[in-house]
Chains A and B, each alone.
Chain A
Amino acid sequence: MTRWPRSYPLAALIALLAILPIGVLFDLAASEAQFFDAHNLRVLTNTLLLMVFTVLGSVLIGVPLAFVTAYVQFPMRRLWLVILAAPLAIPSYIGAFTIYAAFGRGGEIHNLLGIPLPAMDGLLGASLVMILYSYPFVMLTTRASLLSLDASLVNAARTLGMSLGMSLLKVVLPRVATGIAAGGLLVALYTLSDFGTPAIMRLDTFTRVIFVEYNAFGLSQAAMLSLQLLAIVGLVLFLESRVRGSREKPGRHLTLWPNGWQRWVIGVAVSPVILLAVVLPLAIFAVWLAREGSAGFDLSYAWNSVHASFLAAVCAVVLAIPVAHAAIAGRAGRIMERVTYFGFGVPGIVMGTALVYVGLKLPFLYQTLGLLVLCYVLRFLPLAVSSVRSTAEGLDSSLVKAARVLGASPREAFQRVTLPLTLRGMIAGAALVFLEAMRELPATLMLGPTGFETLATYLWRVYEAGYFGRAAIPGLLLVLMSALGLALMLSGERRAELEVSGK
């Protein structure tokens, strides 16, 4: 019975493809790169400081918000959750762009309201933007852990005479520590790989410096820096793999009913976050739209974005099926799956650097849409894999057994039971890949064929050229697209909740 599952060879091949960029980078960096110098040390310090500040800030904002959204009953809580999670949907470079343009002497707020505010740039500006756009990771992971807890423990603590605050602190918080840690590590990864924010805030982190080197034809040096960045990413990923909390048996979760003034306090405490992260960008874009209209914008940018992202989504799901199958089939398959997850940790700028080099070595790929799509697929394959795998795993295993004992071969059982039941996961996975690819900036800048302008790259050109007002239409379109993605993710969460309560 020790036959290998049929998906293994294919999954192994895909896993191999996923680690291809690393091999390329080593090859590239080996030629003539400086290993480490003083400038490099500054870059490392900036990167780590930005990461630490962002993680701390995200935990400080995300954890209280998780408690509020999970436990506190107030009108329209679903809507509040969506609004509080919305920053996740807005690409951080859009936030960075608008905050950079709004603050400071001569910024939009100064122009419109006459209030001179200090400039937002450097480490401070980058940290602020990264916190505003990544705290939802902590909020959502913590919230998920909170919702999985049985309220009876808190109720027990309170009937034993402990105050609500203390019971939340002593009984609940320790049990969601892993949820918080998981969210914090996601934030760290997100910060490490973010290119747009430090670039716009002019903070020399790895991603920004790699892009500078690439533009100065220092591809080898870019590769060396990429490997250093990857080493940090690898460390964070390692930590993440250690964070696996024990799962508790889900029960009825806690509900708190605040009175009038408590609601006010919560509302006032939450508003700055929403104002800065959601209202400000939309307001700035609205101002620009009113001022400049659609000057310079061409519909083909949107079409290019959709075209490339759609191809990536389809390819990613097709490749995800054998990987997901292998991951369920056995241990070796799970390792292959972990390997493909690697791409998600590889920052876009690093993947871009590696694939630019691949393009230089393989001329038939150079400057083609195919190479860009390959980059998207390698980066976002994990989204498709996890989405396909989780629906396939959620599949009651006795269903396949039932099909088999009714006389269906493994193939027929797959076609008639597994496939129809996992189709939803595949579509969700494709949608996630599509939306992520739409927002992707650095790799698109590096790999897009000449003259191939997407929404994201157009936004970047506008920033570089200083025609800020023209960012309104692409910016709003990107926000709209991302909002659709968020709606999709939240509807998935809602389904999960329904399934739990249904039992």
Chain B
Amino acid sequence: MLNVRNLSVDYGSTRVVDNLNLALGKDEVLMLVGPTGCGKTTILQALAGLIPVTEGEISLGNWCSTPKRQVPPEKRNVGMVFQDFALFPHLTVQENVCFRLKDTSLADHWLKLLGLEAFRQVKPASLSGGQKQRVALARTIAHQPAFILLDEPLSNLDAALKDSLRWEIREALKAAGIPAIWVTHDQEEALSIGDRVGILNGGQLEQLDSPEKCFAEPASRFVARFLGEASFLPGVLDGRQVTTDLGPAPGIPIDGASGAVDLLLRPDDLSLVPSEIGNGVVDWVRYEGCSRLYAVNVGDGVQLKVRTSHEVHAEPGARVQMGITTTHPLAAFPR
């Protein structure tokens, strides 16, 4: 089991990764997500042994790497899938996948499973982006690593391809039973694919938990905003009940909040009905196809975002009645 304790990485005098702790479960897919420059890729490179670490230790069963005794990448039994695929241009697909394999039966298995049979004798240059990434994945899995690192594997691909390929990759990882750390900047990808999600900010892990928990009970406002549209409504928390201008709602305190709180509202926690005597005014509206996203000013400079059916129609400036419809507890942050 991969264990990371107090890992820090410096580039010169800048700390890029700060005191990272995590343990990777058996056949778990762990998503690391965060904005550009938060240290995601650096963490992967450190885990693979491609860059030196400043502090902490990384261990896996039979090896343990520390700043004093770095274990070279080829001794770590790690697999890595690169953003730019990193296929060897002078070798065919078959030769790429079998790079260091003596027994090629696993390579055959994965080439077949990922639909690459027809391309065995082809050089990478003539493959499409999605095919290249499948080859890279087959190569990594066929070498039977103890864990796999995926560095934004879908960022060089078309949006249409991303959706299907991310599931294909997850299925393949699960079928192979190899745990993986998958880095992405796409929160939707992180929430839908991960068994657990880690949110990074400025080199620090802000939260590491199940996707549902991270989304519904974010550890910080940063996490709340990063994982999706977030609005904050002032209210008063008493026990498990919050009283707000839009009525009462179930609440769950974050960071020991009580009394004056900001209640986290996602666009689907709210309802909107056009009404001459409503409690809010539409600031703007975005048509999204099967839904509409409204921003509504409910007074005191508080703007709430709400998603409605596309049938509900209100122009900017129109009055609307807002209400909290959710029945699950909402995260309440201290004011």
Question: Which A81-96 residues have a C-beta within 8 angstroms of B?
Answer: none
**Docked CA distance A421–B99 (Å):** 15
**Docked CA distance A416–B76 (Å):** 20
Question: Which A433-473 residues have a C-beta within 8 angstroms of B?
Answer: none
Tell me, yes or no, whether B48 is within 8 Å of chain A by CB.
yes
Tell me, yes or no, whether A401 is within 8 Å of chain B by CB.
yes
Decide if B88 touches A404 in the complex (CB within 8 Å). no
**Docked CA distance A186–B270 (Å):** 70
Tell me, yes or no, whether B82 is within 8 Å of chain A by CB.
yes
Decide if B86 touches A402 in the complex (CB within 8 Å). yes
A401-B48, A401-B80, A401-B82 known; A406-B139 Cβ under 8 A: yes
A-contact bits for B70-92, CB 8 A (1 contact / 0 none): 10111011111010101111100
Task: Please indicate the chain A residues that have their CB under 8 angstroms from the CB of B90 in the complex.
Answer: 420-421
Tell me, yes or no, whether B100 is within 8 Å of chain A by CB.
yes
Question: Which B75-125 residues have a C-beta within 8 angstroms of A?
Answer: 76-80, 82, 84, 86-90, 99-100
A406-B99, A406-B139 known; A401-B70 Cβ under 8 A: no
B248 CB → nearest A CB, Å: 54
Task: Please indicate the chain B residues that have their CB under 8 angstroms from the CB of A409 in the complex.
Answer: 72, 74
The residue from A403, A407, A416, A420 contacting B77, defined by CB atoms under 8 A apart? A407
Decide if B99 touches A405 in the complex (CB within 8 Å). no
With an 8 Å Cβ cutoff, the count of chain A residues facing the other chain is: 18
Interface centre among B70, B86, B87 (most CB of A within 10 A): B86
A405-B80, A406-B99 known; A398-B86 Cβ under 8 A: yes
Tell me, yes or no, whether B52 is within 8 Å of chain A by CB.
yes
Decide if B89 touches A401 in the complex (CB within 8 Å). no
**Docked CA distance A409–B73 (Å):** 8
A396-B86, A399-B88, A402-B86 known; A408-B100 Cβ under 8 A: yes
A406-B143, A408-B100 known; A417-B88 Cβ under 8 A: yes
With an 8 Å Cβ cutoff, the count of chain B residues facing the other chain is: 27
Interface centre among A404, A407, A409 (most CB of B within 10 A): A407
**Docked CA distance A410–B143 (Å):** 18
B-contact bits for A285-305, CB 8 A (1 contact / 0 none): 000000000000000000000
Question: Which B19-76 residues have a C-beta within 8 angstroms of A?
Answer: 48-50, 52, 70, 72-74, 76
Task: Please indicate the chain A residues that have their CB under 8 angstroms from the CB of B52 in the complex.
Answer: 1
Question: Which B127-166 residues have a C-beta within 8 angstroms of A?
Answer: 139-140, 143, 145, 149
Task: Please indicate the chain A residues that have their CB under 8 angstroms from the CB of B145 in the complex.
Answer: 405
**Docked CA distance A405–B70 (Å):** 14
B-contact bits for A387-404, CB 8 A (1 contact / 0 none): 000000000101101111
Decide if A404 touches B50 in the complex (CB within 8 Å). yes
A412 CB → nearest B CB, Å: 8
Decide if B88 touches A405 in the complex (CB within 8 Å). no
**Chain A residue at minimum C-beta to C-beta distance from B45:** A401
B96 CB → nearest A CB, Å: 9
Decide if A405 touches B78 in the complex (CB within 8 Å). yes
B85 CB → nearest A CB, Å: 8
**Docked CA distance A105–B74 (Å):** 76
Decide if B99 touches A403 in the complex (CB within 8 Å). yes
**Docked CA distance A409–B100 (Å):** 11
**Chain A residue at minimum C-beta to C-beta distance from B53:** A1
**Docked CA distance A204–B48 (Å):** 63
B302 CB → nearest A CB, Å: 42
Decide if A406 touches B100 in the complex (CB within 8 Å). yes
Task: Please indicate the chain B residues that have their CB under 8 angstroms from the CB of A399 in the complex.
Answer: 86, 88-89
**Docked CA distance A402–B76 (Å):** 13
B68 CB → nearest A CB, Å: 9
A211 CB → nearest B CB, Å: 48
Task: Please indicate the chain A residues that have their CB under 8 angstroms from the CB of B79 in the complex.
Answer: 405-406
Interface centre among A401, A405, A421 (most CB of B within 10 A): A405
**Docked CA distance A433–B145 (Å):** 45
**Chain A residue at minimum C-beta to C-beta distance from B81:** A402
Question: Which A356-414 residues have a C-beta within 8 angstroms of B?
Answer: 396, 398-399, 401-410
**Docked CA distance A402–B124 (Å):** 15
**Docked CA distance A399–B89 (Å):** 9
Decide if A398 touches B84 in the complex (CB within 8 Å). yes
- A-B pairs, top 4 by smallest CB distance, nearest first, are A402-B86, A398-B86, A404-B73, A405-B80
| Supplied contacts A1-B70, A406-B74, A407-B143, 11 more A-B pairs, CB within 8 Å | A398-B82, A401-B82, A402-B86, A404-B49, A404-B50, A404-B74, A405-B48, A405-B74, A405-B79, A408-B74, A421-B90
List 22 A-B pairs, Cβ < 8 Å: A1-B70, A398-B82, A401-B50, A402-B82, A403-B88, A404-B50, A404-B72, A405-B73, A405-B74, A405-B78, A405-B79, A406-B79, A406-B100, A406-B140, A406-B143, A407-B77, A408-B74, A409-B72, A416-B99, A420-B90, A421-B89, A421-B90
